[in-house]
Amino acid sequence: MDLFNIRCKVNNVARDARNLARVVDGEAFARAWEKASSVQREELAAYITGIDKDKVSGWVKRVLASMSLEDKPIRELRALAKAAGVDYVNNRQKDELIERLKP
């Protein structure tokens, strides 16, 4: 292995670590971490050790998808309500949005 290939590999690892850091620094990651069980956190630790941004992002999406409506922030509730056809979503409070979204 020559010097050029070594530098390329190091640069690739550094790039992957920066991309992973962006995911971990996000608000969605923080919310997912708070709601995750210990088993889910152990799963995440393996993904972080392997510097796998895609698996970490997938983990965040899975954990957030399992959250109840009451745990979701108002932005997500508004987006869900708008997609469900609820009128005047920006004028409604969180409780009212939850009530309209529940089946």
Please tell me which residue, 103 or 76, carries the higher pLDDT value: 76
> Residue 18 and residue 80: Cα distance in Å, rounded?
31
Q: Is 16 a residue whose pLDDT tops 80?
A: yes
> Residue 7 and residue 2: Cα distance in Å, rounded?
9
Per-residue confidence (pLDDT) for residue 49, from 0 to 100: 92
Q: Where are the domains of the chain?
A: 1-67, 69-103
Per-residue confidence (pLDDT) for residue 12, from 0 to 100: 94
Phi, psi of 90 (to 5 degrees): -75, -20
pTM above 0.85, yes or no: no
Angle of CA points 20, 77, 61, to nearest 5° = 25
pLDDT tens for each residue of 64-81: 888 888 888 899 899 989
Q: Is 103 a residue whose pLDDT tops 80?
A: no
